[in-house]
Structure 1
Amino acid sequence: MNVWMFLLNVAVGSAIGGVTNELAIRMLFRPLKPWYIGRWRVPFTPGLIPGRRDDIAIQMGRLVEEHLLTTEGVKRALTQSGLEQQLAEWIDRVAREWMTDEQCVREVLLSAVPQVFSEDGSWSESLRRPVLLHWQSFVDRILEEQAARPLRQLIPAAGRERLDAAVDTVSGLLLQRLRDYLHSPEGLEAAQSLIRGMFGGGGGMFGGLVGMFLGDDKIVGKLLTHVDDILQKPELTQRLRQLLCAELDRLLDKNIGEIAAWIGRSQIEDWSRAVFAKLEERSLKLVDMPLSRLTAPIQEAVSTQLVPRVAKWMVESLARNVERIFQRLAIREIVTRQVDSFPIERIEEIVLGISGREFRMITLLGFILGGIIGVIQSLLSIWLG
């Protein structure tokens, strides 16, 4: 074998190896569609990735769901990524911007919902009427739900202690007011009128004798002194307190339905409307206050207490519901659809952009191996003669 035949064998082997490797790489992506000669489909068309696109999409979805984007990984990322701190900082920044705004609540509401106020500055009827109906329904529902409960159960222990203290105060106060009245000019005049009616009004012999020997002033003076001594006795105060406590207990043992029936439906409705009107008046005063002034008492508490709790609650709630969220999102189906709709040309561009150097080395290696095979083939031909 001469030198030219040797070089030809090396060149042909090298060309075959390189072209074969290059063709194999191209057949990963090309052709995009099957080729047909009549009804016969050319083998290996379309390319590997276009031909197995559906299977690749399904496997990619399974890979992402089972190994990449797992619930355990997401939970670990939520707890270790500092998301809670970043979320707290963001919420605190937004809350501070809102709480330090010098706009009043009315301006904020008007910019968001212009029809919330009427021309005179009060709440619009379209807003006020539904709120009033809800308020009345709320009052009726509370009365209905609590109708069978005794009034005693609605009063906390601290409230009952204040009622007992009020009964003690009222007992002494009533007796003191009665003493003050009896010693006042009006009380003296009333006592004298009572004495005249008892002894002089009838005109009998006993009345005449009393009127002859004792004047009204003397009788009233002696009677008031005796009455005053009685009113100052602790036993009377204690007895009055016992009577008031007994009446209070009878009242507390009544259920809400009985008390509401005793008060009357019309009176309860009047009170309900009066409370609503007071709340409405108070709300109109609040909406005219700047946000900075309105939120001043709670700004520090919001930043130091509420914001961290909200951020922690949000992260914990998200971590607890990761599995449910993944079930609702259907990660596998999403990835499958995305991969299935992704352009093959773009996939080829991405793969070649990442592995282009390696693919060129594979092609070069094909040339080298083909050349080596050509050398070996030539040597074998020479050796075998």
Structure 2
Amino acid sequence: MIPEKLREKIEEIIDGCLECKSKPCMKNCIMLNEFGEDPKSILKECIAKNEIPDKLVYSCNMCNRCTIACPKDYKIQDIFMESRILKIKRNNGKSPMKGHRAIEAHQYLGYSNFFNTVNKAPKGNKTKRIFFPGCSLPSYNSKAVGNILDFLQEKYDGEIGSVLKCCGKPTKSLGQVEAFEKRYAAVQKAIDDTGAEEIIVACQSCYRVFKEHSPNQRVRSLWEILPELGLPEQTKEIGKDSDVVFGIHDSCSTRDNVEIQNGVRRILAQMGYKTEESVNTRGNTRCCGFGGMVMPANPEVAHAVITERGTEYKTDHIVSYCAACRESMENAGKDSVHILDLVFGDRYIKASAEKRSQGSVRQWINRFKSKKELNKRK
């Protein structure tokens, strides 16, 4: 059953939809095409049945592309997000999608002490800042996590600590509001206990979550900070003679943040690598397919989104600044690297291409290794 307030929001979209002949929203959303001819017909069917199907609700990447394309700026993803929250409440706090048990298990482990650590600045220094690497980067490359903290401690005179926890975005994306608030409160307390006034994040989802929920700390992206501080000396111009042209994949989580997008491009320029922009770039970027926890709920749609994104590049080499995006682009058939693979790696050439994705067990091992890397520097 659709509650009255949500019904009113849906009917507002139905009544106001212009039924554009060019259907810009449908051109920009693979998921909507799986469920109907246009948003109006999809939502009208929901009203007629007095129910929004679970699979529809959990097939949205929450990437905002439909709203960007809509001449009336209708926020269809908000309808789906509100529906997720209602479904969670009706299902005793659990997602109705069986595939999301893996996400719930991830969150359980992600908040366990075995994989978490909190460190103040070393040698008794004041902790002015903390580095928060997130989940996906520590699960991908533990050495990069340690290298970045080394670099930041050098640049900030040792006045920076670290917190390895999940920000709770997966929980929030499922619609588990109460669970998210409880988990985030623990994250916030860990940060507050360090005394840090600034949070430096390496993950775009973390960036959004902290911006919204941590008003007492300044939140900055690593990709804004690195070009300001200057790259490690051995990295400057390292890619000048490379035979690779990198396509840049921008994260949809921060599609509106020009500073982050510019920062990534400045980093690549300082390294001397050649780059190309895809058809949909910066504020108009497409989701990599990982957003919204869609993969476990509707893998067919997720794979279609991933494949479509991969076709938008002329080059076979993609650089991302999100480890989850990096994995998606590899799944799209591309040679896919994280930008830190370049910052702390040798000169990258075509012969450097290899598969880098790892299974879930290996990722948890990497996560534990990241904990050890951070603990070395406390």
| TM-score between both structures, scaled by the size of structure 2 | 0.17
Relative to its length, the structure with more strand (as a share) is 2
Bigger-Rg structure (1/2): 1
| TM-score between both structures, scaled by the size of structure 1 | 0.17
Relative to its length, the structure with more helix (as a share) is 1
